[in-house]
A and B are shown apart, each in its own frame.
Chain A
């Protein structure tokens, strides 16, 4: 059982390049999330999708777009990468957007922007 799978695991971009981070879950979860993790900042929510067909902004959405392709897949796109977007990106999923449900995380994408 793979859980939450993120691709790629590592990526280096130049400023201004675009890229899409992929995320897929096989747990039949309804809600999916994208976070970024920076030193000393914990995890900050970028975008989330409470259910298939919906997406909403989180705490730090600027510079990102998302697509909930189907129930399994939720992608994050950087249209014009900036050095401030150097970070570790985590995708997570949850059965429902219900306070008692835990989130399940992928192993992350380590993104460096030069």
Chain B
């Protein structure tokens, strides 16, 4: 069935450092890909999405490109801030097979940014 694998955390960075959180997926058909962010004590918020190969999603300085050839959707930000400290989830929504349009989540990566 469909699955998402993302790098394990926690990830600790200094303010203004470059961030990469790796995400790879397995899916039948042509899934959509999402990054969600969860701040402490809150629910998940959509950060960005991409619905077809080579699409780039971007929001709040974060970017991710849908790479079908490597089945990846890595999250990047050029200069992180303390306020970016949160848990980040990669997710896919597929057409067929295991997910049938439902969201499949990775296990999450906790990011801590130090001043």
Contacts and interface: CB of A to CB of B under 8 A. Distances in A.
Interface of A: 4, 33, 40-45, 48, 50, 58, 90, 92, 97-108
A90 B103 CA distance: 13
A42 B108 contact: yes
A105 B44 contact: yes
A33 to B, nearest CB: 7
Given A90-B43, A105-B45, A99 B51 contact: yes
A41 B8 CA distance: 11
B34 A33 contact: no
Given A90-B43, A105-B43, A100 B102 contact: no
- A interface: dominant SS: loop
B105 interface: yes
Nearest to A108: B43
Interface residues of B, number: 24
Interface in B1-27: none
Contacts of A106: 43
Interface of B: 30-32, 34, 36, 41-46, 49, 51, 89, 93-95, 101-103, 105-108
Contacts of B30: 99
Given A58-B102, A99-B51, A41 B107 contact: yes
A102 B49 contact: yes
A11 to B, nearest CB: 16
A20 B91 CA distance: 28
Contacts of A97: 101-102
Given A42-B89, A98-B101, A105-B36, 19 more contacts: A33-B103, A43-B103, A48-B102, A50-B101, A58-B102, A97-B102, A99-B31, A99-B32, A100-B32, A100-B51, A100-B93, A102-B34, A102-B46, A102-B49, A104-B46, A105-B43, A106-B43, A107-B42, A108-B42
